[in-house]
Structure 1
């Protein structure tokens, strides 16, 4: 049989295999099941994982897959020995022996109990470091494949411009260019630059195509009220980069409707753009529960059979896990083909994309995973080093009156707040198994020793929310049930603070106030955290605020009483260590906010590239963002000079500038380049990020930073919806933040 010949191309092998498949075997290849439901021993802490000693419930598995097989298995985070049992049945007991693809969640580490937990993507974005993100991707890919999974449902490439939305933490922020660059870095790392048959590479599935980060009122899955030009200029380019440049094969569709058209049933978005314009080679998968929402939420389908029919005909290739049982999905597809409502050619196209992927992965030659190798790969020293480095580089200093780094004069330090004795690692994380995640309280005690007394009182907790709500239609099933919060007494915390020389408040979010399904109407710190901060401040002791958060925060009152504010985001398993090192001056913070922090909860949207709408009419309150995109402080200072712009082509420029560390401490600087189209035929932002570099400078050292600008840097979508560079003046700006431009020059393009 030709399909078994590895000398042929994936396309040739898939065509041959497809020609001998029955319709029943075809629809099974575009189906998915949850492995945990077909295992004998579920994991005791994570109901999406399988115990290492589990066997396959062969009777149930055979009843579902028969001799047809199954395309994908999800939610079975376990060791290779268990994965191999599933795979062996499919290879040896089904008619054609087609192996499945094991898939898993891996936004900042594979969700296997005991895997390495890296900072959340928002924290990685705050680093403004492509190399760091690429290394993180390589580590995630290696751990995932070593465990026996070949596909991850990541990265999240939503451009997050609605701060109330709970999933901001999963994204790379509010800017199209930053999201594109970070998406490219992590995808090429995870996929090992397209060598996906390697035993340390996986295939990615960028999500949520194509607009999920601007839901109405910040409510997950809600309508995305954006115009066509904004979609083309701000949201689609991130996925275009992922597919055409980074080499992503597949995407996961979003829940939203755009101007009343549901993306899941849009032939324009799923077929014309993805396959026609971008040449995507793989498949489109529905997000969990999104097909059923065509009936229950959007009301564009009268029943679930119609919902499946509409989405498949538009260009969807397979369901997600929480829509329908494998039996209902496959029986419905068979019925629709036999009735002529879906052509068999359409099914063939979907199946072909799956088969080609399996051949590219090398699954027919190597269906099983080494059952011992994972022990030396998962959470190895190299990956832990990447994780701690990521946590350090994510540290973002918002305020500092000179109190940081801490001097040795403080001999009694009070740690208060709900996260002082608990490190928040972020959603879609693995269960810490075989190791303990250390808190800031622990890390400071270790670093300061007996010379400094550490006092602790949580003072208050962070609301835990209602777990059941998170399991309903369209919401996540990876719920960290182990993440129980602690409470405390504000009075006790004030007492501890009054007895100290210095107070460090540690708080922010948890997995019930940030993450999928955890949308908020206010950006004020949840629970009684603000009250605790204000009461502790009344003691008159110096106060440092440390935030472990997954979105922008309203700090209107906090900035009035804090001597310093440090944002660590959700720093993963080593977040607390990085915080301690930063407070003590062992790590000089250089993170930049990848999402703008509003002046208060009522001043949204506040993303930096919002179209100009200035008016001299009365406006109550503070304009703009408190901490705009790209903002962040350091323990040293940098001087910008010698801006040189050289035209090298019609739309091509080289931009150089010298950056000098004029402070006393070594540190990193994030140099940012923005462009302003001075006069344009359509309204354009006053600034758009078009380049950035994070550089390390010793005290007194100078480095030259160079940027390359081209057609893509200057283009816009004109009134005819054509991509053009309009002749005229462009202002090129270089600075330390979107609101801190140090050098600028106007050029004619």
Structure 2
């Protein structure tokens, strides 16, 4: 046996543009005169000096109160630094934060201005957040205060949400995370977050609270839409691609990039009862095999500078109080040297929700000891740090360590040289034609075809006559949580009407069923529409459909039905996975007409839709597809885009099957009385308008030594009439081991595009890590023995070969 070796750490670099240098010279006279009377250019102001030297010089000049100021954010009380109209007020900021401030959260929102807005990162009816110019003007004013009105002139970090595009007014909205994962296309995901980072940095934002690299193993959980699915390898690959898109592979940060914050460390994706923030009943072994890998790979492979702890507890310890998790594993084992930030209000919640501490001071001490560097969104607990130092409960050395990491990020972002954004270009760099085209392309590649009887799809415009489009989602397009309002969302009806105009057929629409009285993500109360109202709408929809040749029914969820549950009065998790409201009543009435019927699902979580599978002629899983929903759906329905998406999660037959993830242990699927253990659709599943033939996997060397890599080759042929995409998926099974192993584990994949008749040999590597396990001593090792190497288009239809490790 050989232990897994840690890869070499990253080297830090330093770079400064001529523009940045000129700006640094311009800014120098703006500093308070009294700050630098004894020296002309302090080391921390010298861009030619190494970052570490600048950090130590600045740290040595700071008072305890100034250090603590850097460890706090501002959002809930943003009104303290604003005028009643929402403009940044230097006078109020100096009164509220005389020793400076570290971060300001969500500068694009109107927190502190309109109480109905609540500053939530979601579509709030009637709320109008700042546009690009207004955001830049706000940020520049705050930055000018930090540089000119605080003693040492330490610039601010501004952070925002950008789960599937920058969560700001007018920014490009891409498909939701679970849909992005359905592309199985890391290179495309990098392009998506390149656009998001460009739009954020254009408005003066330096840090995003994304990506979410939680592995999600319970579809009842309302936040599953924010994740990249149930498999640690897929989540890792898509997560790494997102990080590269946001901030690149190296530091310092480029002028059009933003730092990421990986979240949430960890176990967040399998809460007890599927309820957000519930305890994660997860062993250390499962943590290391399933939930740690996306975080560990990111930390080891890329220069990550910010990680957010999770709300949940593991083995009796909330993550914000778990030193083993945040220090022993994250820092000592993995060598992480970036920031660890609290989730919003999480330190408070160790008092109020976990009921672990008597007061915020006790919770703060424990959070500091665990390794939290910054409290978000505000310094509710960390404001007490000076008194806790005076009492001897926290050392100033602990604070110095945190502030070093904070200052390092600010220097690596180039904020001391280039702190401002340009209000004249912010809107021009947002939702550009290339960004909109990319949003359409990604949505098309995310769409997953689950059923297509008798080649119902693609539709042909010639001879179509009349196309009925049914369902409220066909007009009122859900785009998912952590969204603002894009400049324009193309509805399914718009997309199909445009198709009809060029194709010479007629489109007719009927609402069919309304789901909730509001789609407001941030609203606490969720009310279903009166069934009597829906009964009338269903009658109208049947009348419309009866006079049509083909029916497209758009069903699913909206932003209220699958969302983050952040309080007892703001829920988003569900106890069942059926379609909500009277949607199945509509579907049954339409199926009774015996007309060709296509069902499109726009939803955030996997839904148990067995009856739809039985009755529909074609079934499409769309998830939330972003602002280009309608165009992408039209592209797929009419064959301009051949669907090639694959499921990043298993879809169960019923909630009673949960947990239903594919990489289960051998004893987990013995059987049920009167029901099946097989899922409705397996992980990795997705059809195409063409057909493919995939060979059994070939090993270039069927016998290797411990510590060596293996190479797998698979031939894929497009045996159908049109070009299309297939995803070659490689799974590993350790046949016999010192501990029980999953029946399958995804270890490699590649999406390929093939022309009709084309054959391609796909070569994929299996690293020693892909063959490793955590042994009885909790050491990562590769054990000698045989491994079954599976290849196929999903996690069920597989062929195999045997690899021997000596």
TM class by shorter chain equals: over 0.9
Does residue 409 of structure 2 align to residue 357 of structure 1? yes
Contact 1:589 1:635 in 2 (8 A): yes
Residue of structure 1 equivalent to 2:101: 70
Contact 1:668 1:697 in 2 (8 A): yes
Contact 2:469 2:507 in 1 (8 A): yes
1:570-590 CA-to-partner distances (Å, cap 9, x unmatched) read 111012211111111111000
Does residue 205 of structure 2 align to residue 205 of structure 1? no
Aligned partner (choices 616, 630, 637) of residue 576 of structure 1: 630
Contact 1:138 1:201 in 2 (8 A): yes
The 2-side partners of 1:421 and 1:209 are apart by 38
**Superposition deviation, residue 210 in structure 1:** 1.5
Note the residue ranges of structure 1 that are not aligned, 5 or more in a row. Answer: 43-53, 473-478, 480-485
Does residue 670 of structure 2 align to residue 670 of structure 1? no
**SS of 1:291 mapped into structure 2:** helix
**SS of 1:419 mapped into structure 2:** helix
Residue of structure 2 equivalent to 1:460: 513
Residue of structure 2 equivalent to 1:5: 46
Contact 2:732 2:788 in 1 (8 A): yes
Does residue 766 of structure 2 align to residue 714 of structure 1? no
- Aligned CA distance change for structure 1 residues 442 and 340 (closer, same or farther; 3 Å): same
Contact 2:167 2:482 in 1 (8 A): yes
1:22-77 CA-to-partner distances (Å, cap 9, x unmatched) read 011000000011285344477xxxxxxxxxxx6313343222122x1100001211
Residue of structure 2 equivalent to 1:523: 577
**Superposition deviation, residue 360 in structure 1:** 0.6
The 1-side partners of 2:223 and 2:796 are apart by 26
**Superposition deviation, residue 441 in structure 1:** 0.8
**SS of 1:733 mapped into structure 2:** strand
Aligned partner (choices 126, 130, 133) of residue 189 of structure 2: 133
Residue of structure 2 equivalent to 1:186: 242
- Aligned CA distance change for structure 1 residues 59 and 682 (closer, same or farther; 3 Å): same
Greater Cα offset, 494-503 or 699-708 = 494-503
1:258-299 CA-to-partner distances (Å, cap 9, x unmatched) read 121211101111111111111212111111121111111211
Greater Cα offset, 32-41 or 272-281 = 32-41
Greater Cα offset, 190-199 or 169-178 = 190-199
Greater Cα offset, 659-668 or 488-497 = 488-497
Aligned partner (choices 360, 363, 366) of residue 310 of structure 1: 366
1:154-202 CA-to-partner distances (Å, cap 9, x unmatched) read 0000000010001111111000000001111110111022244311111
Contact 2:70 2:101 in 1 (8 A): yes
- Aligned CA distance change for structure 1 residues 468 and 391 (closer, same or farther; 3 Å): closer
Aligned partner (choices 660, 678, 685) of residue 742 of structure 2: 685
Does residue 557 of structure 2 align to residue 509 of structure 1? yes
Aligned partner (choices 73, 86, 107) of residue 163 of structure 2: 107
The 2-side partners of 1:616 and 1:646 are apart by 36
The 1-side partners of 2:724 and 2:610 are apart by 29
The 2-side partners of 1:367 and 1:615 are apart by 57
The 1-side partners of 2:649 and 2:746 are apart by 13
**Superposition deviation, residue 644 in structure 1:** 2.4
Q: TM-score w.r.t. structure 1 length?
A: 0.93
Does residue 224 of structure 2 align to residue 149 of structure 1? no
**SS of 1:744 mapped into structure 2:** strand
The 2-side partners of 1:537 and 1:352 are apart by 64
- Aligned CA distance change for structure 1 residues 448 and 238 (closer, same or farther; 3 Å): same
Paired residues for 1:166-245 under 5 Å: 166-245=222-301
The 2-side partners of 1:291 and 1:643 are apart by 50
- Aligned CA distance change for structure 1 residues 198 and 618 (closer, same or farther; 3 Å): closer
Note the residue ranges of structure 2 that are not aligned, 5 or more in a row. Answer: 1-41, 109-129, 527-532, 566-571
The 1-side partners of 2:364 and 2:759 are apart by 60
Residue of structure 1 equivalent to 2:610: 556
Residue of structure 2 equivalent to 1:347: 399
Contact 2:644 2:688 in 1 (8 A): yes
- Aligned CA distance change for structure 1 residues 224 and 203 (closer, same or farther; 3 Å): same
Residue of structure 1 equivalent to 2:456: 403
1:118-160 CA-to-partner distances (Å, cap 9, x unmatched) read 1111111000001101111211111111110000000000000
1:73-104 CA-to-partner distances (Å, cap 9, x unmatched) read 01211432221011001100000000010000
Please tell me the root mean square deviation across aligned C-alpha atoms, in Å.
1.9
- Corresponding pairs, count: 718
Does residue 787 of structure 2 align to residue 730 of structure 1? yes
1:643-678 CA-to-partner distances (Å, cap 9, x unmatched) read 421238523111111111000011011110001111
Aligned partner (choices 534, 544, 548) of residue 500 of structure 1: 548
The 2-side partners of 1:426 and 1:274 are apart by 31
Paired residues for 1:219-368 under 5 Å: 219-321=275-377, 326=379, 328-368=380-420
Greater Cα offset, 568-577 or 22-31 = 568-577
**Superposition deviation, residue 492 in structure 1:** 1.0
**SS of 1:712 mapped into structure 2:** helix
1:314-369 CA-to-partner distances (Å, cap 9, x unmatched) read 11111111xx5x4x545411111110101111111111110111011111111111
The 1-side partners of 2:206 and 2:375 are apart by 18
**Superposition deviation, residue 692 in structure 1:** 0.4
Residue of structure 2 equivalent to 1:621: 675
- Aligned CA distance change for structure 1 residues 393 and 640 (closer, same or farther; 3 Å): same
Q: TM-score w.r.t. structure 2 length?
A: 0.87
The 2-side partners of 1:616 and 1:359 are apart by 57
The 2-side partners of 1:11 and 1:98 are apart by 16
**Superposition deviation, residue 404 in structure 1:** 0.6
1:378-404 CA-to-partner distances (Å, cap 9, x unmatched) read 111222222111101001001110201
The 2-side partners of 1:679 and 1:661 are apart by 36
